[in-house]
């Protein structure tokens, strides 16, 4: 292979390359930088590296031909590539939401804003709740929980009266008495997932509304292997009147954009 695209992020290192005419994708933990370098030396010692992301400089020690590219441009271009390949390109302008360690909001060629709410919050608070920061372990715990045992629901407040808003909505995240021993680690992780999903939905819908678009495309490592987070986000689609698109390979958008970057 002549070229490899790498997105060295805060939590994950994503790799994209072509082999026998097919796009190949790999993922490493950000802590596995030495393993990434060893893999590169073994599989393609002569390949040019197109690297983006906050940890891009860490790969300079690999003695390779390295081009460090602008992260936001790579994410945007990689997303366009995937939208075309997956036949999901919206007919109008769309808001791009990249949920990684944190979350960024893009429109056309610009990054509009961002928030620290994302996968880093999930693993950080998850470590306090569950005693582990392993992402998939935390996702599995959340999938088994009942967030209504931890969250104060609108239905809890309006038990004896008609609710003025949807009773299944959250009145206060983690608002129930945490001294209640029936609230398990699984329940709290489910509530944390709900908090993250709800917040990102609110920010995304407000941003999309300001752009006068109903099209929202979501990518990022925090969505990969986390069906509960996707479910939370998708559950508000009709309420906020937007059209939501998840990209199957969206976690690698930055690496794909770097791979196909036109010098």
Same domain as 199, residue 82 = no
- What's the confidence (pLDDT) of residue 10? 83
- For residues 129 and 48, give the distance between their C-alpha atoms in angstroms, rounded to a whole number: 43
Same domain as 47, residue 164 = no
The number of helix segments (H) and strand segments (E) in the chain equals 9, 12
Same domain as 109, residue 83 = no
Same domain as 209, residue 128 = yes
Mean pLDDT (the chain) is 92
- What's the confidence (pLDDT) of residue 178? 64
Are 15 and 1 contacting, i.e. CB atoms less than 8 angstroms apart?
A: no
- What's the confidence (pLDDT) of residue 263? 58
- What's the confidence (pLDDT) of residue 71? 93
> In the chain, how many domains are there?
2
In DSSP terms, 17 is beta-bridged to 4, 24
- For residues 35 and 118, give the distance between their C-alpha atoms in angstroms, rounded to a whole number: 26
Are 53 and 7 contacting, i.e. CB atoms less than 8 angstroms apart?
A: yes
- What's the confidence (pLDDT) of residue 200? 98
Same domain as 115, residue 64 = no
The enclosing H or E element of 128 equals helix 119-130
- What's the confidence (pLDDT) of residue 61? 61
Q: CATH number for the domain including 81?
A: 3.30.420.40
For the entire predicted model, the pTM comes to 0.91
In DSSP terms, 98 is beta-bridged to 104, 219
Distance in Å from the first CA to the final CA of the chain:
17
Residues of the chain with pLDDT under 50: none
Q: Exactly one of 19, 46, 71, 248 is catalytic; which is it?
A: 71
Specify whether 212 is catalytic: no
């Amino acid at each position: 292979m002549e070229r490899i695209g790498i997105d060295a992020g805060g939590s994950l290192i994503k790799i994209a390359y072509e082999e026998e005419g097919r796009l190949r994708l790999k993922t490493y933990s950000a802590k596995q930088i030495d393993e990434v370098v060893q893999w590169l030396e073994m599989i393609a010692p002569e390949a040019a590296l197109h690297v983006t992301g906050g940890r891009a400089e860490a790969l300079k020690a690999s003695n390779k031909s390295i081009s460090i590219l602008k992260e936001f441009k790579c994410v945007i271009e990689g997303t366009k590539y995937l939208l075309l390949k997956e036949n999901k390109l919206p007919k109008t302008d769309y808001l791009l939401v990249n949920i990684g360690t944190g979350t960024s909001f893009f429109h056309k060629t610009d990054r509009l804003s961002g928030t620290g709410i994302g996968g880093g919050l999930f693993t950080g608070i998850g470590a306090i709740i569950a005693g582990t920061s392993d992402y998939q372990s935390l996702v599995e715990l959340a999938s088994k929980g009942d967030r209504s045992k931890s969250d104060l629901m609108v239905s809890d407040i309006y038990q004896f009266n008609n609710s003025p808003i949807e009773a299944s909505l959250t009145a206060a995240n983690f608002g129930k008495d945490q001294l209640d021993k029936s609230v398990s680690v699984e329940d709290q992780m489910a509530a944390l997932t709900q908090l993250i999903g709800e917040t990102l939905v609110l920010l995304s819908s407000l941003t999309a509304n300001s752009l006068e678009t109903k099209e929202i495309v979501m990518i990022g490592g925090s969505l990969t292997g986390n069906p509960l987070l996707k479910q939370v986000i998708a559950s508000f689609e009709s309420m906020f009147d937007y059209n939501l698109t998840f990209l199957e390979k969206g976690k690698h958008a930055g690496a794909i954009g770097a791979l196909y970057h036109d010098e």
